[in-house]
Structure formats: structure tokens, C-alpha cells
Amino acid sequence: MESFLKATAAIPSKTTTEQQQQKPVMHLGWGSMICKSADHMAELCIRTVHHAQVQAIVLGGAAGLSLDKLLTAKKPTMTPDILEHAKANILFVDCAPHEWLFPQASATVHHGGAGTTTAALRGGVPTIVTPVFGDQCDFRHVVNALGVGIGFAKQLHKITWQELGDALTQVTSHPDMAQRAAQLGTQLRAEDGANRAVDEIKECWDKCCAKEQLERHVACQAEDESAANAARHRLQRSMPKILVVASLVAGAALVVAALNKRRRQRPAWNPN
């Protein structure tokens, strides 16, 4: 609840002064993903926000991203001006509801997980996908194909703060992209997702799992299982012969090795 209240306070309201509203407010967060280390990810956020000259709400996620460790580091990796900019323009919170936060941000940055991508697209603002592995790469392709953001071709650990900062600048400076994201968000929010999923499953069942096809599938599985059992029995019957042959080969190899060793140890013949 405390994190939620902090995030609520960070979103510019209608009464915010014009000067405070000049900088877009971004969301950055990677959920359960951890890239290299928490300090690396926090520094990536800070340098990205400084490079793009924006404000941001950073969700701590599994990495527990925060500014505290970087401020108290014995060997700081960033200059004081970057750290001061971070203190003034970045809010680190443990968590906040995506469905509430994303629509109020100017853009979202995340790893491209199925749930996070869905929330980002429903939010109706441009989104940036920095994939780590698996289906996250598919979702970055979807974002690019729809023209509602930027999906990086490279993985998160290979993305620099300059590249991520440039991506933030790009998605917030293209009205067409923002308009497409808003239209898609409206469309998705109007969709009855639960009933649509039920319809898709039912259609798949009717097409692929009708009674005749299901019986055929079960029969094929039974045939495959019978063939596998037959092969297993043949292998078991052949196993004694295989073991005998393997023993003979191993024994022959030992004899050859012993003869070679004796030959090397035999003194060279001297005719004198």
C-alpha cells in the first residue's frame, strides 16, 4: 500500500504546474527478471532516464531495484550530477498495479512477459520491450508489428543505457505511435477476454479434438507405444551380446596398450 501511495503521488495531476508537466513520466520495471545484478539494473534505469531527460517510476521487482545502494556505494560508478538527477526525477517503489499505473505513464519499459505486455498494450501508451528469453522475443515482435512501440532485437543484458534512452525519446516524440497505442488499448479494454478465451478453446476442441479425431489420436498413441515396447524388448534381448562384444573390445584395447607400453620400454637395439 505504501508503494502504491508513493506511485500515486508521483503521477502528475491536473493541478500540476506547467513546468512539472514538461517531462514525461515513464514506467521502468522487469518483474521477475534479473539481468547481471540489481545494481546494474538500477544504474541502467538511472543513466537511461538522465540520457532521455524524463521522469520515471521504477518498480523494484524481483531484483529489488533501489537508489539507496548506489548512493552509499564505496566506489560510485556514476557522477554526483547523475545521482542528483535520479533523486529528483526517479521514484523507486516496490510494486504498483500495472492496470492502474501503465495508462497514466507516457510510455512503459519492461521485459515482454505475457502478462506485462498485455497490461502495457491495454494501457494504451507506447511500450518498449527489452526481452530476456523465451516468448518475450515473440512479444517484442508483436509490438514492432503493431507499430505501438519498440521491441529490441537484442537481449536486455546487451542493451546500453544510450540505446534505451534513445528508444524512450523516440516513442515519446512520435504522435502516430501514441495514437496507434491508444486505439489498440481502447480495443483491448473493450474485449471480453475471459469469454473470448473460452470460445477459442472450444473452437480448437471442435476442430482438433472431435470424437473421431480423438479416437484416431488415441489409436496412434497406442501404436507408437506398442512399437516403442517392441524396440525396448529387442534391445533387452540383445543386451547380453552387446555386453560380450563390448568386453572383448575393451580387453583387446588393454592388450594393445600393454604391448605398446612394452615396446616403448624395450631398449633400442645396438649392433655394436
Phi and psi at residue 150, to the nearest 5° = -125, 125
What pLDDT is attached to residue 16? 47
What pLDDT is attached to residue 69? 72
Report the chain's terminal Cα–Cα distance, integer Å. 99
Decide: 101 and 124 in contact? Cβ < 8 Å. Answer: no
What pLDDT is attached to residue 210? 61
Helix locations, the chain, DSSP H: 2-10, 38-52, 68-71, 80-89, 98-101, 114-123, 136-146, 161-172, 175-190, 193-208, 211-265
Distance CA 135, CA 138 (A): 5
Decide: 150 and 144 in contact? Cβ < 8 Å. Answer: yes
What pLDDT is attached to residue 8? 55
Distance CA 271, CA 25 (A): 95
Q: What SS3 string covers 152-182?
A: CCCCHHHCCHHHHHHHHHHHHCCHHHHHHHH
What pLDDT is attached to residue 4? 43
What pLDDT is attached to residue 74? 63
What pLDDT is attached to residue 196? 85
Per-residue confidence of the chain (272 residues) as pLDDT tens digits?
454 445 555 555 433 445 445 789 999 999 999 999 888 999 999 999 999 999 999 999 999 999 887 777 667 788 888 989 999 999 999 989 999 999 999 999 999 999 999 999 999 999 999 999 999 999 999 999 999 999 999 999 999 999 999 999 999 999 999 999 999 999 999 988 888 888 888 887 777 666 566 666 666 776 777 777 777 777 677 777 777 777 777 877 887 777 777 777 666 555 55
What pLDDT is attached to residue 72? 72
In 3D space, the residue among 83, 79, 9, 6 whose CA is nearest the CA of residue 45 turns out to be 83
Q: Looking at this protein, which amino acid is placed at residue 239?
A: M
Decide: 142 and 117 in contact? Cβ < 8 Å. Answer: yes
Tell me, yes or no, if the pTM score tops 0.85: no
Q: Which residues make Cβ contacts (< 8 Å) with residue 11, sequence separation at least 6?
A: 25, 57, 101, 104
What pLDDT is attached to residue 53? 94
Distance CA 40, CA 125 (A): 27
Distance CA 250, CA 240 (A): 15
Residue with cell 544510450: 162
